[in-house]
Structure 1
């Protein structure tokens, strides 16, 4: 059996080298240069061309190159017989936690403000926020959200979570469902979105929900750009209800040159670099599921197409 890498516009050399380094005898193919597509059962993918899996009639596993799977589930022609899996790489989780903490501390200690003042030779002081007076709310209590919550708790923050279903996490109050969303938002001085992108969570960061945040709240989105309604965020920033936002993900990437986010004084932009998969560390997880598929054993990190995660 072989592994085929299917991606559109994403570099594949890193994955090819990582797979061959751990399993030299493995046949690693890269779409579309595959002669016998009917013999391929395992695909590793990110942003595949829609409908491409019709060319692989015996595909049994479609594995995401990252933690997200919305790029797979957007395809209306996915084979019903194929199991979809995601990555849960400890390095990916660690890096996301560190990035989220950096954004939180940057906001609390006014580092962006002071950088702008430096450029203007402006010696001005601004009172910083304290951990004791700041409650952080994290939307999404999966692997990434739970880890970020635990790390922020270690720094002394009060951290609350919100999830679609009930979750039990030590030291963290987790609100659940639509019935508790407003209460969760009302406590969140800093709101962090780490939700999976599903039909239910698309556009969830909108005027209605963001208006429920306390005055001068700060918004961090490191999940997916389609969670956020761009114009609603700008309106609430301009009205003074929100203090600012740090955004790492966008509806269109790269962010168009004429997008208002670029020049907005209250928005910090990073180019989707919060947490980047390292094939060298993630490849063992891929190969483990590859072996499980060969042996007829249950796969790990299976995604529900119905739930979207």
Structure 2
């Protein structure tokens, strides 16, 4: 007598061709560890045979209409702004919350905060003994994190554990990261209060109509003079022109930017040449096949067993 556990799922891998070998190996290992039977392929003759699509926007699937029996589209990316508005996508969509990506984001944010907190660039190797240039303690600095989902919550917890005073802000005041020890949560209309505290501002909000241009001339002026901005979230969160003006005036001391409205960032863009901007090429956090495959496997188990999916996207909220 067969059971659901005996069922073989057909999973279509739709991402870049050069991702296939690494992902195939990692996914196969994760499926085997969970006792999942999966026919994993880059193509199936009949789209109606497919049970799940393992998806990245860089892959070949652009029209989801033929996949009438797909019970899950599992994104390999944390951000879903490039797919959530697709009218052909009516199947359940899950975003990727990867433990490896989360750890990468924590390390990137911690590293850059510590660089500016400790003033690591103050000690030029020029023979001058700058013994009075001493950084304060972390407890003398306030870090504000705009966006308290899984990534924001993890970053907040790490910075609080080091001793920084940390405030989290989200539209709802809750955030998918849950409550974090030592972190005060603010919501919605309290954004001016949150910004007014920020010696360091880290933006980890999703790209939605409500967050685009959130940091503009008006809101940047709410920051304390000399604030440092770190944006590893989404490029459209910040008005480029407003940020450049705030940097030119000295109101914002420095901006470390990992994401941009246009990527790759064009060589002629002022960010490349501004002395108070550090550009990193969208490397703060990337999905790691070795850890993300366990998330894919868990959701395919849930698909097989008829259980609720992890990290299901709310289409109305856009993430």
Question: TM-score if structure 2 supplies the norm length?
Answer: 0.87
State the 1:198 CA deviation.
1.2
Is 2:215 the partner of 1:215? no
Q: Output one character per residue of 1:13-48: Cα deviation in whole Å (capped at 9) or x when no partner.
A: 221121223346522222xx4321121121111225
Is 2:207 the partner of 1:197? yes
State the 1:56 CA deviation.
2.1
Pair 1:57–1:228, CA change in 2 (3 A)? same
Inter-partner Cα distance in structure 2 for 1:227 and 1:268: 17
Partner of 2:6: none
Partner of 1:158: 165
Pair 1:129–1:53, CA change in 2 (3 A)? farther
1:10–1:46 Cα contact (<8 Å) kept: no
Inter-partner Cα distance in structure 2 for 1:42 and 1:300: 14
Unpaired segments ≥5 residues, structure 1: none
State the 1:50 CA deviation.
7.7
Is 2:30 the partner of 1:17? no
Partner of 1:174: 185
Partner of 1:28: 40
State the 1:276 CA deviation.
1.6
Number of residue-to-residue matches in the alignment: 300
State the 1:182 CA deviation.
0.6
Is 2:148 the partner of 1:138? no
Partner of 1:148: 155
Inter-partner Cα distance in structure 1 for 2:247 and 2:275: 10
Question: Structure 1 residues 42-51 or 142-151, which shifts more?
Answer: 42-51
State the 1:132 CA deviation.
2.9
Partner of 1:240: 250
Q: Output one character per residue of 1:178-232: Cα deviation in whole Å (capped at 9) or x when no partner.
A: x111111111111000112211111112111111100001100010111111111
Pick aligned residue for 1:54 from 49, 61, 65: 65
SS in 2 for 1:153: helix
Partner of 2:284: 274
Runs of 4 or more, structure 1, over 6 Å off, are none
1:18–1:279 Cα contact (<8 Å) kept: yes
Partner of 2:275: 265
1:64–1:72 Cα contact (<8 Å) kept: no
1:189–1:218 Cα contact (<8 Å) kept: yes
Pair 1:28–1:169, CA change in 2 (3 A)? same
Inter-partner Cα distance in structure 1 for 2:81 and 2:12: 20
Pair 1:249–1:122, CA change in 2 (3 A)? farther
SS in 1 for 2:201: strand
- Greater relative contact order (CA < 8 Å, ≥ 6 in sequence): 2
Inter-partner Cα distance in structure 2 for 1:219 and 1:2: 45
Question: Structure 1 residues 62-71 or 144-153, which shifts more?
Answer: 62-71
SS in 1 for 2:185: strand
Inter-partner Cα distance in structure 1 for 2:317 and 2:103: 25
Is 2:194 the partner of 1:187? no
Pair 1:105–1:10, CA change in 2 (3 A)? farther
Q: Output one character per residue of 1:258-277: Cα deviation in whole Å (capped at 9) or x when no partner.
A: 11111110011111111121
Q: Output one character per residue of 1:269-296: Cα deviation in whole Å (capped at 9) or x when no partner.
A: 1111111211111112111211211222
Inter-partner Cα distance in structure 1 for 2:260 and 2:20: 23
User: Superposition pairs for residues 219-230 of structure 1, below 5 Å?
Assistant: 219-230=229-240
State the 1:139 CA deviation.
0.4
SS in 2 for 1:218: strand
Pick aligned residue for 1:101 from 82, 107, 110: 110
Partner of 2:74: 63
